[in-house]
């Protein structure tokens, strides 16, 4: 392969090589910032390989009576930047190409849901007299480290106070176990859990994180998302085959070749299922998202996790469906306040969706209609800063 800067043959690392192949095939445009990040990720993989070799030599040194210094801890990478700049794409390349055997790629919220389940199981074991260790953090971290050396998070966004309050202790234990972290986020580490409840108790995690990762701001030139979606595709009415075809076309544009997968959100210790997710977007039916007993916190978590949410088959709602109307109000408010995007297919124009009598819901629904209209304007779309997502992949520990 030829170095694009010098036109001389050069041997790239696996991530940079994969990136250059996509550029050569015309699938993406060349971007200097993406190339720099690819090189940094290749450096990380090389460091992980050297650390593995050094660790084995150290063990053999002790076996044969030769003292060797333990290898230096490997710093991971925390990538942040504007939406649609290729953070997830490059982390996916790194995950696929990494030589580490025990590696896992997982959404942060799903990972924390598992952590809370492990903590609950440990406390149950203490209560049953099966263990005397009353602090679950160390044993839980050891369980994770037994299966994982390289942990990749996409998208790192802290919204749950239950997560925020244990992160410093949890990751201190995980880093002590030798786990290396790679994460993508739409915010810098110092802005994680911004304005969150009791944020002062969360700040030690921020300092711990910065000590164990290299922070890389990806300032690629182009937003590669939502480029093929018109304003008229954000609210589709009336329902019918044509609406379904338009929603499918929008979903295909959002996925942009990525695989869709089921996902989940951890909200206040609960897991909220996301039936269809991919490339930072999620797709629900009305019954899946608005006919279930979900609240404002659930919709805020959706807005933190996904840059775009599609909701299909929204019916006209009367007084008998005031709860569903209230949930739609909460969904619109959460996405509007977070500058995220909603794509709806509905039985009628927004102003005609709720037919209940005058009162609190009618007033609030009128405000939601106004916000929905604004969310389809060029001004709103220009300021949107959605947060991309990804898939959950795992590779079991191996030799």
Q: In degrees rounded to 5, what are phi and psi of residue 172?
A: -60, -40
Q: From start to end of the chain, where are the E strands?
A: 76-80, 103-106, 150-154, 180-185, 213-217, 235-236, 261-267, 270-278, 281-285, 308-314, 341-346, 393-395
Residue 104 confidence class, pLDDT cut points 50, 70, 90: very high
Span 371-381, average pLDDT: 82
Closest CA to 256 of 385, 88, 91: 88
Closest CA to 102 of 70, 57, 144: 144
Write down the pLDDT at residue 193: 87
> Which of 129-143, 212-226, 312-326 shows the lowest mean pLDDT across its residues?
212-226
Residue 87 confidence class, pLDDT cut points 50, 70, 90: confident
Span 359-388, average pLDDT: 74
Q: What does pLDDT average to over the chain?
A: 84
Write down the pLDDT at residue 220: 60
Judge whether residue 3 has pLDDT over 70. no
Residue 396 confidence class, pLDDT cut points 50, 70, 90: very low
Residue 18 confidence class, pLDDT cut points 50, 70, 90: very high
Closest CA to 142 of 115, 168, 113: 115
DSSP strand pairing (150-154 vs 341-346)? unpaired
Write down the pLDDT at residue 62: 47
Name, of 29-43, 183-197, 375-389, the range with top average pLDDT.
29-43
CA distances from 180 to 28, 44, 100, 149 (A): 29, 10, 11, 6
Judge whether residue 361 has pLDDT over 90. no
> Which of 116-125, 127-136, 257-266, 383-392 shows the lowest mean pLDDT across its residues?
383-392
CA distances from 168 to 85, 200, 349 (A): 29, 12, 48
**For domain 14-220, which CATH number applies: 3.80.30.20, 1.20.1630.10, 2.60.40.10, 3.40.50.300?**
3.40.50.300
Token couple for 265: 């959100």
Residue 291 confidence class, pLDDT cut points 50, 70, 90: very high
Residue 197 burial class via C-beta count within 10 angstroms: exposed 0-12, middle 13-18, buried 19 and up: exposed
Could you read off the pLDDT of 333-348 as tens digits, one per residue?
Answer: 889 888 889 999 999 9
Strand (E) or helix (H) holding 48: helix 32-63
Residue 95 gets the label, from left (phi > 0), alpha (psi -120 to 50) or beta, of alpha
Q: Would you say the CATH fold of 231-383 matches that of 14-220?
A: yes
Contacts of 369 (CB under 8 A, 6+ apart): 350, 351, 353
Write down the pLDDT at residue 133: 82
Judge whether residue 307 has pLDDT over 60. yes
Token couple for 350: 């927004």
Write down the pLDDT at residue 59: 46
Write down the pLDDT at residue 398: 32
Domain coordinates of the chain in residue numbers?
Answer: 14-220, 231-383
Q: Which residues pair with 343 in a beta bridge?
A: 310
> Which of 128-142, 173-187, 348-362, 371-385 shows the lowest mean pLDDT across its residues?
371-385
Span 85-101, average pLDDT: 89
Judge whether residue 1 has pLDDT over 70. no
Judge whether residue 389 has pLDDT over 50. no
Higher pLDDT, 246 or 382: 246
Q: Which residues pair with 271 in a beta bridge?
A: 266
Write down the pLDDT at residue 45: 94
Percentage of the chain lying above the pLDDT 90 cut: 47
How many CB atoms are closer than 10 A to CB 264?
18
Percentage of the chain lying above the pLDDT 70 cut: 83
Could you read off the pLDDT of 137-152 as tens digits, one per residue?
Answer: 999 999 999 999 999 9
Judge whether residue 285 has pLDDT over 60. yes
Write down the pLDDT at residue 392: 37
**231-383 sits in which CATH class?**
alpha beta
Write down the pLDDT at residue 9: 59
Closest CA to 325 of 374, 360, 281, 297: 360
Judge whether residue 187 has pLDDT over 90. no
Residue 80 burial class via C-beta count within 10 angstroms: exposed 0-12, middle 13-18, buried 19 and up: buried
Closest CA to 156 of 99, 209, 203, 207: 209
Span 30-51, average pLDDT: 92
């Amino acid at each position: 392969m030829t170095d694009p800067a010098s036109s001389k043959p050069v041997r790239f690392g696996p991530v940079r090589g994969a990136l250059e192949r996509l550029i050569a095939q015309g699938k993406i445009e060349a971007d200097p910032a993406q190339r720099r990040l690819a090189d940094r990720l290749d450096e990380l993989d090389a460091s992980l390989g050297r650390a593995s070799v050094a660790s084995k030599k150290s063990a053999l040194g002790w076996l044969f009576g030769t003292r060797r210094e333990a290898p230096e801890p490997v710093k991971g990478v925390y990538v942040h930047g504007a939406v649609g700049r290729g953070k997830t794409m490059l982390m996916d390349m790194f995950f696929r190409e990494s030589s580490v055997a025990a590696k896992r790629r997982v959404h942060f919220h799903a990972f924390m849901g598992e952590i809370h389940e492990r903590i609950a199981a440990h406390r149950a074991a203490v209560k049953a007299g099966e263990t005397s260790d009353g602090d679950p953090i160390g044993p839980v971290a050891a369980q994770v480290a037994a299966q994982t050396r390289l942990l990749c998070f996409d998208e790192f966004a802290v919204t749950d106070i239950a997560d925020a309050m244990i992160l410093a202790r949890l990751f201190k234990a995980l880093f002590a176990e030798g786990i290396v972290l790679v994460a993508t986020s739409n915010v810098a580490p110092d802005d994680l859990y911004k304005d969150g409840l009791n944020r002062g108790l969360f700040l030690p995690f921020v300092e711990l994180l910065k000590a164990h990762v290299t922070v890389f701001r990806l300032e690629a030139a182009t937003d590669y998302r939502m480029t093929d979606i018109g304003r008229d595709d954000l609210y589709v009415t009336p329902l019918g085959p044509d609406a379904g075809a338009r929603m499918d076309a929008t979903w295909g544009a959002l996925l942009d070749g990525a695989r869709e997968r089921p996902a989940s959100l951890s909200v206040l210790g609960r897991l909220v299922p996301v039936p269809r997710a991919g490339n930072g977007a999620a797709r629900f039916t009305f019954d899946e998202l608005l006919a279930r007993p979900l609240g404002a916190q659930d919709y805020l978590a959706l807005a933190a996790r996904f840059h775009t949410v599609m909701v299909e088959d929204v019916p006209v709602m009367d007084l008998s469906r005031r709860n569903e109307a209230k949930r739609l109000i909460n969904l619109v408010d959460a996405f509007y306040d977070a500058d995220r995007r909603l794509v709806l297919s509905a039985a009628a124009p927004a102003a005609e969706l709720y037919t209940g009598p005058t009162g609190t819901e009618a007033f609030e629904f009128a405000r939601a209609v106004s916000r929905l209209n604004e969310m389809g304007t060029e001004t709103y779309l220009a300021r949107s800063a959605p947060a991309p997502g990804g898939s959950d992949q795992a590779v079991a520990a191996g030799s």
